[in-house]
């Protein structure tokens, strides 16, 4: 399905959110909920999480290794989550995993067996992407938070074998091939971590990182992201680092309108779903009202690894929507793109 057709299909999905008189609060809550992707602890979702899914307060779920004991259990878990969404009359959930290859596989018996650094050609990367897509699709998982298309130096970066290598042109070719292979199997790919963590001195999951690399060097590392956009990648994940070369304020990229809307949307022409990196990370959490700022920057899906974090984010956004600090137009734009993606994956 084309992006245009997907956006037209939003009208049908949006009918679920058209309230009767006096039901405005419920509609607003459901629109906010579609922007939330949550993780959870254990092998089964809590009753509270299932209730949130039924009420439409969650639009996606990310699965980690601790949630999954076997392929059959993963399939049953996905079915239970999707049944809860359907029971509330809500759109299907996006179900995501990090299945990058090599050591970063939430389903360790599934492909890609090789890490990105071990993939030697676009043909191999495309075959690995297709194998991963086929495997995930059988389990009902429809978003792979891969590939990493950052361009680190040959040594000294925390990404290690998660990146294809230190040449942006090679990363562009292999990353795009992986994306095409994955998406041919109706599993959405995610190019990450825009605009690049190749020169980051520390892991942004653990520290607030300010990247001081000059603009020309950063621009050279945009090539794999530009190639991913040309390849039709469904999602782009924005990093939690700050980039003064692109936004003099030093805000984390996920909160930066010049980076998300100016650089990714307008300059690179990306029209799909923008997803945050983990919002619990020090970068966004060092700012006030980070969730509303992220949506205002142009992010569509806010990723939280815990139920508590995602619930607090939902409450913050609902309050911001009520006060109009978070504009109805911003919520509608996010829901348009999320709905179009969900339609394409069905």
Catalytic residues: 208, 277
Element (H, E) at 144: strand 143-144
Q: Is 96 helix (H, G, I), strand (E, B) or coil?
A: strand
Contact (Cβ atoms closer than 8 angstroms) between residue 54 and residue 87: yes
Q: Which of 146, 217, 201 minimizes the C-alpha distance to 179?
A: 146
Where do we find the tokens 């956009």?
A: 229
Bridge partners (DSSP) listed for residue 235: 190, 273
Determine phi and psi for 108, rounding to 5 degrees. -70, -15
Q: How many CB atoms lie within 10 A of CB 26?
A: 14
Query: CA distances (Å), 155 to each of 149, 165, 201, in order?
Result: 16, 10, 11
CA distance 302 to 315: 13
Contact (Cβ atoms closer than 8 angstroms) between residue 250 and residue 244: yes
Examine residue 32 and say whether the peptide bond preceding it is cis (omega within 30 degrees of 0). Answer: no
Structure tokens at 52: 């949130």
Q: Which of 84, 78, 93 minimizes the C-alpha distance to 55?
A: 84
Report the DSSP pairing between strands 104-105 and 99-101: antiparallel
Query: CA distances (Å), 16 to each of 30, 300, 332, 334, 341, in order?
Result: 9, 19, 14, 16, 17
Determine phi and psi for 37, rounding to 5 degrees. -115, 130
Q: Is 322 helix (H, G, I), strand (E, B) or coil?
A: helix
Bridge partners (DSSP) listed for residue 61: 38, 95
């Amino acid at each position: 399905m084309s992006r245009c057709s997907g956006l037209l299909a939003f009208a049908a999905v949006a009918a679920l959110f058209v309230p009767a008189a006096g039901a405005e609060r419920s509609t607003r809550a459901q629109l906010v909920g579609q922007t939330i992707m949550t993780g959870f602890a254990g092998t089964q979702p809590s009753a509270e999480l299932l209730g949130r899914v039924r009420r439409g307060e969650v639009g996606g779920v990310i699965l980690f290794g601790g949630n999954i004991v076997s392929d059959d259990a993963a399939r049953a878990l996905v079915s239970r989550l999707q049944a809860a969404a359907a029971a509330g009359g809500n759109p299907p959930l996006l179900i995501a995993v990090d299945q990058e290859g090599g050591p970063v596989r939430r389903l360790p018996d599934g492909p890609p067996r090789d890490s990105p650094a071990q993939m030697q050609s676009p043909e191999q990367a495309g075959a690995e992407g297709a194998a991963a897509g086929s495997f995930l699709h059988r389990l009902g998982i429809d978003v792979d938070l891969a590939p990493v298309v950052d361009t680190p130096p040959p040594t000294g970066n925390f990404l290690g074998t998660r990146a294809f290598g230190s040449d942006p042109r090679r990363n562009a070719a292999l990353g795009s091939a992986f994306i095409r292979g994955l998406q041919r199997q109706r599993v959405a790919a995610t190019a990450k971590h825009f605009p690049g963590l190749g020169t980051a001195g520390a892991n942004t999951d653990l520290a607030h990182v300010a990247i001081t690399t000059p603009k020309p060097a950063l621009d050279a590392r945009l090539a794999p992201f530009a190639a991913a956009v040309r390849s039709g990648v469904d999602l782009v994940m924005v990093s939690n680092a700050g980039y003064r070369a692109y936004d003099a304020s030093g805000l984390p990229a996920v909160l930066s309108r010049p980076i998300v809307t100016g650089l990714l949307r307008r300059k690179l022409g990306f029209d799909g779903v923008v997803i945050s990196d983990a919002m619990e990370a020090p970068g966004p959490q060092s700012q006030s009202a980070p969730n509303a700022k992220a949506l205002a920057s142009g992010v569509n899906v806010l990723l939280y690894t815990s139920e508590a974090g995602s619930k607090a984010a939902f409450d913050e956004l609902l309050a911001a929507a009520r006060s109009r600090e978070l504009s109805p137009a911003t919520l509608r734009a996010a829901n348009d793109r999320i709905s179009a993606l969900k339609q394409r994956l069905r």
